[in-house]
Structure 1
Amino acid sequence: MSQSGVNVASVPGVKDMLTRLISLPSISSASAKWDHSNEAVVRILAEWLEPLGFAVEILEVPGMPGKFNLIATLGSGPGGLVLSGHTDTVPYDDQRWTSDPFTLTERDNRWYGLGTCDMKGFFALAIEAAREFAGSPLKEPLILLATADEESSMNGARALAEAGKPKARYAVIGEPTSLKPVRMHKGIMMERLKFEGQSGHSSNPALGRNALEGMHEALSELLTLRGQWQEQYRNPNFEVQVPTLNLGCIHGG
């Protein structure tokens, strides 16, 4: 079916789209062993969106070879609605999977695969919903946004924010919430601390500088800061009403 210069029939159905997206590894990780490019996912999204009349921009994330954001816009003008998701997934433990993570598998009336919920499934559903508007005049644009590295560095979203893109009036973030609308988010900040010591000898520690002791002092200060924040800030709209601070991992020695 083709209407007003668009080709709706060229876009697969939801299950076929999700099958293809799941088959394309796009893991993001601070570990080079796990980290993948997300380019293949972004390219296939563009391939499906362009026949529906979307104007597609594929933007390489500065300083991140192989990482790309996608902005696809249907219609034009100020305002509009952004449907936003991330293209990457977390790594996986193959010992805990009972099926191939990169093959969409149906079992017990559910679909399984790496990213089915978080969050490649959102793109298939968003594109399916956009079919209804293909070829129709819109008062304000519909924008589909696909970002890189949400599960690790968040450099994809950061690059878009620094570029001031996209601009719209509203946004729906397609993270899984068990179909319960979430209208607020605490936000998140991630930091890495690196301490370099000076070699010495345990017989006279004063001759050196122990990086582990320095890190211990820093962690103690952070935990004190956490306590201060939790005394100072509280929002009853959240199940966890106070700011949280998690010490993720530590390596050294």
Structure 2
Amino acid sequence: MTPKEMLAKLVSFNTESQRSNLDLIHFCRDYLASLGVESRLAPSPDGQKANLYATIGAQAAGGVVLSGHTDVVPVAGQAWTSDPWTLTERDGKLYGRGTCDMKGFDAIALALVPEMLAAPLKRPIHIALSYDEEVGCRGARVLIEAMAKDGYSPSAVIVGEPSMMKVVTGHKGGLRMRTTVRGHAVHSSRIDVGVSAVMVAGELIHWHNETMARNKAQTPAINGFEPPYSTLHVGVVEGGTAVNIAAEHCSFTHEVRCIPGERQEDYVARYKAKLAEIEPAMKAIAPEAGIDFEVTSDTPAMGPETDGAAEALCRRLTGDNGRHVVAYGTEGGLFQRAGWSTVVCGPGDIAQAHQPDEFLSVAQLEAGTAFIRSLIADLSR
């Protein structure tokens, strides 16, 4: 299969994060098996999803991991002009959900396995496909643990998220949380004897604005990131019954996107201190009132490495000597935390990710293909 044919096959699997990815994973397993390549699955705790990893070449230490995720974001509510699950080519662009983010890279890696097998590889190539990247990099944690348990110690990891084939050495981390405020409902005319969960939530939401404003004022403006500071955001708020009732419940989901060098656990500690400041006054009015808080996902930032092997490799292969960091998160920080040298380098423009009529240009598919072919040649020397 050519990379384009492989991409068409991968796009045909609806692997939205709320669905299973097993049909795609089983296809990849069977495809690799037909080429004589054994792969292993690392399933999710409930068994409804799985990661896949496989090695091409000598079973030796080192080698390079080609890392990609298999899940995609939903298409519901988006105005697509073609079927998102059918690869459609128009004007040099390949349309379909996941073409850019990031089945294009997955397709290239899989389609070139026959070329990897035919090459005299001196160091192995490892293919690693994960589940649930889009909802907190859940699968990569299971994947990395399984690979480490099996003795993998790669010299470099290339996470093929869309970077226009630029060598990205840093990205922000992602801390996702949920807060639920338990109030005490009363008629709004006697708000003095009630606890409005909505109004308490509003105060906590404002804390996010205040904290982000301090970050903006204190962070050097030139560090490569856009924006250059750690951001805080509240995405969904649910609560209240009527305008004349002090709300008994209110919950919201929120996040921090941390620049490398800042600790996400510090934000958790500061937020918990704010909760501890607010909660006593609530309980003084109604003992049952309070605030519940949980961290739903904690994905570390990826920072530039000193003399990083992955960076040196990808700069040599691409000729890109620029300094690139991105605001979006990837699984790269998890690989790096495991002690594996990591960069992000893949085909496509992140501006197309998650959009209706998502596309990967034919030119970027070809550039990604040339990159992997250069990697095969490099590992064969």
Match of 1:219 in 2: 205
Match of 2:223 in 1: 236
Rate the CA distance shift 1:154–1:195 in 2: closer, same or farther, 3 A. Answer: farther
In the alignment, is the contact (CA less than 8 A) between 1:60 and 1:68 conserved in 2?
yes
Match of 2:355 in 1: none
The CA deviation string for residues 64-98 of structure 1, in whole angstroms up to 9 with x for no partner, is 44121111222323222111111011111465111
Match of 2:170 in 1: 184
| Farther off after superposition, 80-89 or 68-77 | 68-77
**Pick from 103, 107, 127: which aligns with 2:110?**
127
1:132 counterpart letter in structure 2: E
Residue 72 (structure 1) aligned with residue 59 (structure 2) = no
2:49 counterpart letter in structure 1: K
2:55 match: secondary structure = strand
Please give the residue correspondences for 1:7-86 in structure 2 after superposition, counting only pairs within 5 Å: 12-28=1-17, 35-62=18-45, 64-74=46-56, 75-86=58-69
- State the alpha-carbon separation in 2 of the partners of residues 243 and 25 from structure 1: 33
From the two aligned structures, give the one with the greater helix fraction.
2
* Displacement of 1:146: 0.9
Residue 168 (structure 1) aligned with residue 154 (structure 2) = yes
In the alignment, is the contact (CA less than 8 A) between 1:69 and 1:146 conserved in 2?
yes
1:139 match: secondary structure = coil
Match of 1:4 in 2: none
Relative to the length of structure 1, the TM-score reads: 0.83
How much identity, in percent, do the aligned residues show?
38
In the alignment, is the contact (CA less than 8 A) between 1:201 and 1:207 conserved in 2?
no
| Farther off after superposition, 224-233 or 89-98 | 224-233
- State the alpha-carbon separation in 2 of the partners of residues 95 and 155 from structure 1: 25
* Displacement of 1:142: 1.3
* Displacement of 1:233: 3.9
Match of 2:234 in 1: 247
In the alignment, is the contact (CA less than 8 A) between 1:53 and 1:135 conserved in 2?
no
Match of 1:6 in 2: none
Please give the residue correspondences for 1:142-153 in structure 2 after superposition, counting only pairs within 5 Å: 142-153=125-136
- State the alpha-carbon separation in 1 of the partners of residues 154 and 210 from structure 2: 40
The CA deviation string for residues 40-70 of structure 1, in whole angstroms up to 9 with x for no partner, is 11111112223334331111112x4412111
1:244 counterpart letter in structure 2: T
* Displacement of 1:153: 3.2
* Displacement of 1:145: 1.0
- State the alpha-carbon separation in 2 of the partners of residues 207 and 67 from structure 1: 49
Rate the CA distance shift 1:205–1:146 in 2: closer, same or farther, 3 A. Answer: same
Match of 1:156 in 2: 139
2:87 counterpart letter in structure 1: L
Listed as ranges, the gaps of 5+ residues in structure 1 are 1-11, 29-34
In the alignment, is the contact (CA less than 8 A) between 2:42 and 2:146 conserved in 1?
no
Residue 99 (structure 1) aligned with residue 85 (structure 2) = no
- State the alpha-carbon separation in 2 of the partners of residues 89 and 192 from structure 1: 23
In the alignment, is the contact (CA less than 8 A) between 2:65 and 2:128 conserved in 1?
yes
CA RMSD of aligned residues (A): 2.3
Match of 1:114 in 2: 97
Rate the CA distance shift 1:201–1:94 in 2: closer, same or farther, 3 A. Answer: closer
- State the alpha-carbon separation in 1 of the partners of residues 214 and 182 from structure 2: 28
Rate the CA distance shift 1:103–1:210 in 2: closer, same or farther, 3 A. Answer: same
- State the alpha-carbon separation in 1 of the partners of residues 223 and 71 from structure 2: 32
1:189 match: secondary structure = strand
1:49 counterpart letter in structure 2: L
Rate the CA distance shift 1:218–1:112 in 2: closer, same or farther, 3 A. Answer: same
- State the alpha-carbon separation in 2 of the partners of residues 229 and 162 from structure 1: 34
| Farther off after superposition, 204-213 or 114-123 | 204-213
1:26 counterpart letter in structure 2: T
2:23 counterpart letter in structure 1: A
Listed as ranges, the gaps of 5+ residues in structure 2 are 241-381
| Larger relative contact order, structure 1 or 2 (CA cutoff 8 Å, min sep 6) | 2
* Displacement of 1:120: 1.0
- State the alpha-carbon separation in 1 of the partners of residues 129 and 140 from structure 2: 9
